[in-house]
Amino acid sequence: MAGMKIALLQLNPTIGDFDANVAAIAAAARKAAKAGAELCIAPEIALSGYPPHDMMLTSGFVARNEAARDKLVKLSGELRTGLLFGLVLGSPIKPGKPLSNAAVLCDNGKIVAVKRKALLPTYDVFDERRYFEPDPTPCIAEFRGVKIGLLICEDIWTDASLLGEVEYASDPAVECSRKGAQLLVNLTASPWGVDKHWLREKLVAATARRTGLTTLLVAQVGANDDLIFDGGSVVCDGKGKTVMRMPLFKEDMHIFDTAVSSKVLPWLADSVQDQIDALTLGIADYFRKTGHRKALIGLSGGIDSALTACLAARALGPANVHGITMPTRYSSEGSVEDSRKLAGALGIGFEVVNIDAGFETLRGVCGKPGGLAEENLQARLRGIVLMTRANARGELLLATGNRSELAVGYSTLYGDMCGALEVIGDLPKTRVYELARRFAEIPPDTHTKAPSAELRPNQTDQDSLPPYDVLDRVLAAYIDERLDIAEIVKRGIEPDLAARVARMVEIAEFKRRQAPIVLRVSGHAFGAGRRMPVAKKT
């Protein structure tokens, strides 16, 4: 195969913003063309951004894709550089679903090839068969003397040795090689979870070895709602050796020369830093893409709100983050001071709003309920203060709950669950401490004191919950591995404890349905990837 300079455009599209997305592709392509690129490749469904969900079913959506496509086809003529990009098109297969997850290759102002995705995922957060009709036809595009096998995302997720059980009987990459492909290109928008970039690279390498063909994967970066995309575009040669990597969690353009060896960018094996970078990107993109700038956080003096504040300050800049601490008669002086110290160290806005008088008034209005209802009343009053302040100032409230609390319902609906975004809602409590240790701004006492909601005298979380290290072990087995209680007990967990935690998870489903959007960094996050009924026998 003759040498070719191919530009990988690792881009961060905004869903539905066709003009801006096309402009971003065009700007990167112009830069690449000036550097000598013969072909520029953008990610899966790059024209509308991924995933557009039911926007795809609205009238005019396909037409907007086609109009955006035509602009890029014209651009390929102006630049005299080939462009390959993902988009949504109508499906020609009848009967069937109305749409295709497609890719278009154009050159010199003309469309050279159209590829439609063969393998459509319907697991975890994916529901592509809701919209798309699969097309198993291999697509080999003749481009300037090179036969390129075109693949889209899931089309390479076929290696049982890496994935375990595989849902598909076909292997589109092998079918392309059998049809004479000399090079494989995969356009992807693959949501990130811990170590997902390493798995993706292994899949590319396995595809390259299986076919004997150099394989390029061009990935979307950025965050759209709960999903975070890391980029991490990669190239492996026909022996499966990685010959190019692109950065994680940032936009980039890199030219790969098929005839020249290049230095491989190292990825650090640091899952804690990866999660910090992912959550930072998740916050930043949520605010940018919704048109907001400023965040409000309720600071309790605890580790969860401290970590959330650190991430928000990193994502938005300290000047755009404001913290409020809201003590009552049950709040310790240390919690208020720890909040003050944190805010000072971060350089974020800070104020103390004592809500004890308001709590006493509401307590009387509500008939002095006592017990848990009275504890929750304090949390709900804090929610009222935070939501009202956020409304008045045009800020977005960030919720501060962690995954362990969301799992077992250790949170107050319309109280500490208020907010537009649950930043650390996919981090187990034990993981929260790991990330928090990377931030020197968090006061030492915040790391060492017993976690407490401070809603009654001398309260700690462990009055109601098992120790977090034990709880997180049970939750990982029950939620992530989907083990039943008998299997969990075999791992040394007391039967009563395993059953109690499982029941807490199940009866808290109604709360999670009303939780804010949770930034997803694990393989089994709450939300679209875990769909459980609320009304059921537990």
Q: Annotated catalytic sites, by residue?
A: 44, 117, 153
Which is nearest to 28 in space by CA: 15, 17, 42?
42
Instruction: Find the radius of gyration of the CA atoms of the chain.
Output: 25
Helix (H, G, I), strand (E, B) or coil at 116: strand
Q: How far is CA 428 from the centre of its chain?
A: 16
Which residues neighbour 482 within 8 Å (Cβ) at sequence distance 6 or greater? none
* Rounded distance between C-alpha atoms, residue 88 and residue 99, angstroms: 7
User: Tell me, what DSSP letter sits at residue 480?
Assistant: I
Which is nearest to 173 in space by CA: 162, 158, 187?
158
* Rounded distance between C-alpha atoms, residue 409 and residue 407, angstroms: 6
* Rounded distance between C-alpha atoms, residue 283 and residue 226, angstroms: 10
* Rounded distance between C-alpha atoms, residue 119 and residue 139, angstroms: 13
Sheet holding 321-325, edge to edge: 349-352, 321-325, 295-298, 396-399, 421-422, 517-518
Kindly list the distances between the CA atom of residue 325 and the CA atoms of 110, 121, 331, 349, 497, in Å, as whole numbers in the listed order. Answer: 60, 44, 10, 11, 34
Helix (H, G, I), strand (E, B) or coil at 386: helix
> What phi and psi, each to the nearest 5 degrees, are found at residue 262?
-130, 160
> What phi and psi, each to the nearest 5 degrees, are found at residue 442?
-75, 125
Contact 423, 521 (CB under 8 A): no
